[in-house]
Amino acid sequence: MVVLKGIPSIISPDLLHVLAKMGHGDEIGHGIPALLEAILKLLPLDKYVNSPAILMELVQSDKDQGLETPVWTEYQKLIDEAEHKKIKMAQMERFAYYERAKKAYAVVATGETALYGNLILKKGVIAGQQ
Among residues 46, 75, 97, 116, which one is catalytic? 46
- Name the helix (H) or strand (E) containing 55: strand 53-56
Active site residue 97: no
- Report d(CA 101, CA 130) in Å as an integer: 27
∠ CA 99-50-39 to the nearest 5 degrees?
70
Active site residue 98: yes
Among residues 17, 48, 80, 98, which one is catalytic? 98
- What are the residue ranges of helices labelled H in 41-69? 60-64
Active site residue 80: no
Residue 92: Cβ-neighbour burial (10 angstroms; 0-12, 13-18, 19+): middle
Catalytic machinery residues: 24, 46, 98
